[in-house]
Each structure stands twice: as C-alpha cells, then as structure tokens.
C-alpha cells in the first residue's frame, strides 16, 4: 500500500491532550470524587494506572503545562495527580470524553480490538511493576508507566487512524510485526514510539526504558521481558520463546526460573481479576490449556483455544479467574534462599526497601501467603499504615490497611509488644470481634497471620499475611515460618537502624 503519511506527519497528527478514557475508569474516578475527604492519592492512581489512555493523558498534560510549578519532569501518575491536586484532578475528570462514546465505538470490531489492547497493556504493566518491586526498585511505578506508554501509539492509531490500525492488525496475523509495520507505515513502530514520547515531553527516564540501546540496564531487561511475556501469552503459555524471558528475569532477580514462572502465572491471574470488567479474555484464561497449536487471531472475533474443553473462561466477556481462589503452595527452596540472603545482610548492608522486599518475597513465595502487607508506624507515632504490599490488587481495600497505634482492637493490642497471632477457626469466635469493622471489610472472614515488629523497645511496624478469601487454610508450619521470618526481619531492621 502507498505510504501517504511520513514520520513527521504522524508526529504532527498523534497528540494525546484530549484523548478519551474508558468509561469504567471515569465512573470509578467520579465515585471517588463524591467521598474526597475519605480517600488518598493511591486510590486515584491505581485507577489511572489500570487505563493506559488515562495514564497517557495525565502524564502528557503534566509535562506540557504552559505554567508549571515544578521544574522537574513528571514521570509517575502519583506525582502528576499531586502536582495539580486531588480534588482539582477529579473535578476535571467529569469533562473527559470516553471511548465508549467516541466514533470508534460505532465499529464493534474496532472497539473489541481496543479492549484486547487494553488487556495486553494491563498485563504487561502489572508484570513489570511486580518484578521491579521484587528487584527492590523504589520507583517501580516508573517501570509500570513505561509499560503502559509503550502501547500509546497503537491506542492513538485506533482512535485517530482506525483504517491504518485495522490494516496493521490484518497483516500482523500473517507476517512478523516489524514487516507489517514497514508495509503499512513505511517504517517500523519502534522509532516512531520514541520520537512521539520525546515530542510529547515524556520524561527521559521513561523513554530510556523503552530504548533498545540501553538493554543492559536492569530496568530495561525487566520491562522488555514483561512486554514480551504479555504479548506472547495472548496466544497461550506453551510458547518456547517465553523461556528466554523467564531466564532474563531469573538472572535479574537472582531466583530460580521455576520461581519466576510461578510469579508470572500468579500475576496473570491477579491482573485478569483486576480487569474483570473488560469484555475481552485475559491471558490467564489460557493457563489451564494443554500444549498444542494455537489458531491465528480472526479479524472479527476472539481467537478460540485449540482445545476448548481445556480452557477456563475463554469466552469473550467471561469472568476472569479470581486471584483469591488460588491457594498458593509454600516453596521451601524460595524460603531458604530468602532467609540466607537476609542473614548475609544483617550487617546493615541493605537499605529499608531492599530488606522489606526480601521479607515480603519470603512470605509470599516461600510460605505461600497470597496477600502480604507490611505496615509501618507513621512518623507522628499515631497510626500504623500500609507501606508495602504483595499479591494485592490495586483496587482491593486491603491495599490501604491502616489502624491507630493505640487502638484497643486486636491489631492495636498486638503493637503493645512484639508478638504474633494466627486467627483461625479455633479462636475466631473470640478474636474476630476484636477486629475493627473497616479492617474486617478489608480482610474478609478467612484465616490470617499478623505480627508486630519492634526496633529496640519501640514499635516499628506490623506484617499481615493470608491465603485469600477462598477457604485456603493456614497451618502450624506456616505460622512458625511466619514468626521466624518476622523475627529475622526485626533483627535486620534493628541493625539497619543502628547502621
């Protein structure tokens, strides 16, 4: 086909300032506006980070304001929201256009393609952030934003040049993506992506992560492996090329490939549950499939698995797998590895984030706790508030675990000295009434573990863990392992404080 638009033409044409967002995002954000006094910035950012178009619009406008109060670049959603004010941003959301009312919504096949692209972007971003956190990256949201903005040109093609997007999608089903891009556009998408991000004034720290020239950097390795995993898993999990991505992540994280694969699969289930509102099947739907050939994507309908009876929730619009329904199995090898790493660094050679990342990793992978929270005493000494979480979706209330330090409830009593509790069927009648109502709503009625941490004679924080809400039971060995790991964490934190 003739290339009527040059690279510069596309740079001039694709501008994200008034980009529509998905209706679900707008509805949820407006619901938060109605209770502005009770929410925090993280509740808003989690919704924006689930919508690549909302993320693109916010980051673009934050870096292209005529009058900016800050000289630094804005590389995260949290920074962008705080820069303009939570209330101001939520007020503006009411005026945002939505995808479902845009011209593309009149073309069901094109709208379905946008939903599939949304699933892909969400999956890549979720994997990228989780592996960045596991790598003790204290700015993991930047990696997540880079994963979302990777897909920005393709979203804008569907919105501003749907004929081009459809032709690209058609040719990609029969040839390599780069070849299809050269045939349709006259050039590959990668240089256009980087040029667009630079033209939009997206911060250099984000652009560099998407630049193939810097692949030796750990962040770039994590990001590109996760992008590839999200791309390949759309067609099943038996693609041999996925092993190269798993090995790259294993090398960066310093963990066995088997642990990486387990983490990837768990993340796929969690992001599927997180995006259950999207009428397109998630990659996690193909996890139960047996090895076999995968049919090419059809232009007007979702691909169906080669063995339909082996797939779960494969129908478009079907409910995504529920992360809370997965009972994780403990991994003694992973636990041993974490314990050894902590013991090797009890000399204050790790910083706080690195130490806690190891502890959470041991609890999550080693002990098989589906949801883990590390909460810290706030600087004013008045409250205990969630600082790090693992295995908890961005929209799950448990992500905002918090209680008064001097509270007379169960968690407040735990903070009076270093001690642990295992709430289970044998003691629930006695202990459950001692839990504050808002925490009951966050936790659910399943079993859980909790232990307070002290540094010297002062309370430092609390670790919470459970196996979800699906009746996944805890046991005595897990409780003992939990207490041992928490005690080891306390030793590490005490030395860190001294150092």
Task: Tell me the three state secondary structure of residue 421.
Answer: strand
- Determine the pLDDT at residue 194: 94
Is-contact 271 49, C-beta < 8 A?
no
Q: Whole-angstrom Cα distance, residue 14 to residue 427?
A: 60
**Dihedral sign for Cα atoms in the order 366, 367, 372, 378:** negative
DSSP assignments along 265-289, one per residue? HHHHHHHHHHTTTSSS--GGGGTTP
Alpha helices, DSSP H only, in 151-213? 152-160, 162-172, 177-185, 189-199, 204-209
Domain ranges of the chain: 332-498
- Determine the pLDDT at residue 296: 42
Nearest by Cα to 331 from 437, 260, 414? 260
Q: Which residues of 270-284 are buried (b: 16+ CB within 10 A; e: fewer)?
A: bbbbbbeebebbbbb
Mean pLDDT of the chain: 85
Which residues, including other chains, have CB under 8 Å from residue 75's CB and lie 6 or more apart? 59, 139, 142, 145, 203, 205, 206
Q: Which two tokens stand for residue 413?
A: 């009593």
The two beta strands, 448-455 and 458-466, are: antiparallel
Q: Each residue of 101-154: pLDDT tens digit?
A: 999 999 999 999 999 999 999 999 999 999 999 998 989 999 999 999 999 999
Block means of pLDDT (10 residues each) for the chain, length 499 residues? 73 86 96 88 93 96 71 87 92 95 91 95 96 91 96 94 92 87 91 93 95 92 97 86 93 90 92 91 79 42 29 30 56 83 75 78 87 91 89 81 93 94 90 91 88 90 84 86 90 68
For the stretch 258-261, contacts whose Cβ atoms lie closer than 8 Å and that sit 24 or more positions apart, written own/partner, are: 259/331, 259/333, 259/334, 259/365
Nearest by Cα to 159 from 197, 102, 202? 102
Element (H, E) at 466: strand 458-466
Alpha helices, DSSP H only, in 301-449? 332-344, 352-361, 410-414, 428-431, 437-443
Q: Which two tokens stand for residue 431?
A: 């202990």
pTM of the complete model beyond 0.75: no
Phi, psi (rounded to 5 degrees) for 305: -65, 155
Q: Whole-angstrom Cα distance, residue 379 to residue 83?
A: 23
State which fold the 332-498 domain adopts.
Beta-Lactamase (3.30.450)
**Dihedral sign for Cα atoms in the order 243, 244, 248, 254:** positive
Phi, psi (rounded to 5 degrees) for 103: -55, -35
Is-contact 462 450, C-beta < 8 A?
yes
Q: Whole-angstrom Cα distance, residue 5 to residue 60?
A: 24
- Determine the pLDDT at residue 498: 52
Q: Each residue of 66-92: pLDDT tens digit?
A: 555 555 789 999 999 999 899 999 999
Is-contact 263 130, C-beta < 8 A?
yes
Is-contact 357 374, C-beta < 8 A?
no
Q: Each residue of 214-246: pLDDT tens digit?
A: 999 999 999 999 999 999 998 888 888 899 999
Is-contact 272 310, C-beta < 8 A?
no
Is-contact 147 125, C-beta < 8 A?
yes
Q: Whole-angstrom Cα distance, residue 367 to residue 365?
A: 6
Q: Whole-angstrom Cα distance, residue 428 to residue 446?
A: 9
Residue identified by tokens 């070849």 is 179
DSSP assignments along 357-382, one per residue? HHHHHIIIIIS--SEEEEEEE-TTSS
- Determine the pLDDT at residue 319: 34
Q: Whole-angstrom Cα distance, residue 148 to residue 99?
A: 17
- Determine the pLDDT at residue 45: 93
- Determine the pLDDT at residue 114: 95
Radius of gyration of the chain (CA): 23
Q: Whole-angstrom Cα distance, residue 194 to residue 150?
A: 9
Q: Which residues of 451-484 are buried (b: 16+ CB within 10 A; e: fewer)?
A: bbbbbeeebbbbbbbbbbbeebebeeebbebbbe
Is-contact 415 405, C-beta < 8 A?
yes
- Determine the pLDDT at residue 31: 93
- Determine the pLDDT at residue 318: 32
């Amino acid at each position: 086909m003739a290339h009527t638009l040059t690279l510069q033409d596309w740079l001039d044409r694709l501008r994200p300032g008034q980009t529509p967002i998905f209706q679900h995002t707008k509805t949820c954000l407006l619901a938060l506006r109605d209770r502005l006094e009770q929410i925090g910035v993280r509740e808003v950012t989690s919704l924006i980070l689930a919508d690549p178009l909302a993320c693109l619009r916010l980051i673009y406008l934050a870096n292209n304001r005529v009058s900016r109060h800050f000289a630094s670049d804005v590389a995260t959603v949290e920074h962008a929201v705080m820069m303009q004010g939570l209330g101001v941003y939520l007020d503006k959301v009411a005026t945002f256009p939505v995808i479902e009312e845009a011209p593309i919504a009149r073309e069901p096949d094109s709208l379905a393609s946008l939903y599939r692209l949304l699933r892909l972007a969400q999956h890549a971003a979720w994997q990228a952030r989780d592996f960045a956190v596991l790598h003790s990256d204290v700015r993991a949201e930047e990696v997540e934003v880079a994963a979302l903005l990777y897909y920005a040109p393709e979203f804008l093609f569907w919105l501003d040049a749907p004929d081009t997007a459809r032709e690209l999608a058609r040719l990609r089903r029969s040839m390599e993506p780069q070849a299809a891009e050269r045939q349709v556009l006259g050039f590959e998408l990668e240089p256009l992506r980087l040029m667009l991000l630079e033209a939009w004034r997206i911060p250099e720290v984000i652009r560099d992560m998407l630049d193939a020239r810097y692949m030796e950097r750990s962040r770039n390795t994590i990001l590109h492996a996760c992008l590839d995993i999200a791309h390949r898993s759309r067609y099943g999990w038996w693609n041999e090329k996925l092993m190269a991505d798993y090995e790259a992540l294993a090398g960066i994280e310093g963990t066995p490939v088997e642990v990486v694969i387990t983490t990837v699969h768990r993340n796929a289930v969690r992001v599927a549950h997180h995006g259950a509102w999207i009428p397109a099947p998630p990659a996690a739907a193909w996890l139960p499939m047996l090895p076999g050939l995968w049919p090419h994507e059809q232009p007007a309908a979702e691909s169906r698995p080669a063995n339909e009876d082996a797939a779960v929730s494969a129908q478009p619009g079907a409910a995504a797998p529920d992360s809370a329904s997965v009972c994780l199995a403990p991994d003694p090898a992973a636990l041993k590895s974490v314990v050894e790493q902590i013991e090797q660094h009890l000399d204050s050679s790790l910083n706080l984030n690195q130490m806690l990342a190891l502890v959470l990793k041991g609890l999550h992978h080693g002990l098989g706790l589906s949801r883990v929270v590390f909460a810290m005493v706030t600087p004013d000494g008045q409250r205990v508030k969630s600082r790090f979480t693992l295995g908890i979706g961005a929209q799950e209330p448990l992500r905002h675990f918090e209680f008064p330090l001097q509270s007379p409830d169960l968690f407040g009593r735990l903070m009076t000295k270093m001690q642990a509790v295992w709430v289970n069927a044998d003691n629930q009648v006695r202990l459950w009434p001692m839990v504050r109502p808002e925490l009951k709503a966050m936790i659910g009625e399943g079993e859980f573990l909790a232990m307070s941490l002290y540094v010297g004679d002062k309370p430092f924080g609390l670790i919470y863990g459970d196996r979800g809400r699906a009746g996944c039971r805890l046991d005595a060995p897990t409780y003992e392992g939990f207490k041992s790991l928490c005690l080891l964490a306390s030793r590490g934190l005490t030395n860190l404080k001294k150092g």
